[in-house]
Amino acid sequence: MTRLLSQPLATLDVEQSTLYVTGDVGMNAAAELVAAGAKWLETGGFTAVGFDFSGVEKASSAVMSVLFEWLRSCKRHHIAVSAITLSAPLERLASLSELDALIHSPALAE
């Protein structure tokens, strides 16, 4: 596993073609996570990637913003999203926000 970003409360790692976010992602960390992940997506040369947020214990709109920015980056670069894994708190937030259908859409894998 390679560390792309380390902050006091949040980290971004990559293994094979999956980005792993762990920790407490607040507004301060979100912008740096978006930038580091987007750079990796642009330069990685992947046709498909995964996003794993199972290590994020605190749900926040900042985390969801990171995910959606990365999804937009994938769309721009014609990268398929093979899997999105959310922690239980993030699953609840996605469901309450009615975003779960967008996140778990079969169209993401295309």
Q: What is the pLDDT of residue 103?
A: 78
Contact of 11 with 22, CB cutoff 8 Å: yes
Q: What is the pLDDT of residue 107?
A: 53
Q: Give me the average pLDDT of each 10-residue run along the chain (110 residues).
A: 93 96 91 96 92 94 94 93 94 85 60
Q: Model pTM greater than 0.85?
A: yes
Q: Which strand (E) or helix (H) includes residue 49?
A: strand 48-55
Q: Which two tokens stand for residue 109?
A: 């894998």
Q: What is the pLDDT of residue 106?
A: 44
